[in-house]
Amino acid sequence: MKFIIYLSPRTVAKYLAIIAAILAVFSIAFAVSTYVFDFFEEWMRMLDLDREMNIPTWFQSFMLACCAFLLTIIARGKNDESARYHRHWKTLSYIFWFMSADEVFSIHEIFIIPEIAEQLNLPWFLHSMWVIPGTIFVIWFAKHFWKFVQHLPKPTRDRFLLAAIIYISGSLGMEMVGSYYAEWKSQQDIIYALMANLEETLEMSGMIIFIYSLLTYLGTWQPDINIELKICDRNNYQKYLSS
């Protein structure tokens, strides 16, 4: 039996962008409802971009997992070809699998300890202390992956860089701005809520561009990807592996 799935990078990106836009509109509307009209219902948390373990969280984790899956496919193919940078593709896949898990479990928030930030007398924009190791990681990444990025075809390279700039602008840039504002004013007002929504919207935009970039690259490099699904019992599976 032959089962073929056709994927259009443009169509995939379009539908992901529509979902992201809907989530952003609902989240902003709920922020206005809460802080301007003083109306809040508990169910609104499920669509709040600035909350954890809700629909936007799972959507972003799903997109990061899609990036990781596509990177894994590319890494396998590059390894089979003994390509020069196959380890870089593999490392990227590991990074995105971790980012997908972190989106759900908020591992990075372990570093958000206001008391330590105050004792170290850190600037307000560094009070979300995870941005410090985050910034160090970005610098390390840029140093070790720059040759890899330069090796990519120009259209792919440009899209990768655009996705990275937009994503980092949200995850690190707006996080610092939000931390500064939270310490200066408050986390409980419409300005901070809009900043948080902008942060998450930039992150989603970066993910969508990256998914589009990976699909486009795959379509140019390997338009046909063969995935085998074999249904058999355990004994036959062992025979298949040993054959």
Kindly state whether residue 157 falls inside one of the protein's structural domains.
yes
Kindly state whether residue 1 falls inside one of the protein's structural domains.
no
Kindly state whether residue 20 falls inside one of the protein's structural domains.
yes
pLDDT at 217: 95
Tell me which residue of 42, 54, 61 sits closest to 203, measured CA to CA: 61
Kindly state whether residue 231 falls inside one of the protein's structural domains.
no
Kindly state whether residue 179 falls inside one of the protein's structural domains.
yes
Domain span holding position 167: 9-226
For the chain, the domain total comes to 1
Kindly state whether residue 2 falls inside one of the protein's structural domains.
no
Q: Output the average pLDDT for the chain.
A: 88
Pairwise CA distance, residues 37 & 72, whole Å? 47
pLDDT at 229: 65
Kindly state whether residue 208 falls inside one of the protein's structural domains.
yes
Percent helix, percent strand, percent coil in the chain, to nearest 5:
75, 0, 25
Task: Write out pLDDT tens, residues 171-209.
Answer: 999 988 988 888 788 888 999 999 999 999 999 999 999
Kindly state whether residue 239 falls inside one of the protein's structural domains.
no
175 and 199 Cβ atoms separated by less than 8 Å: yes
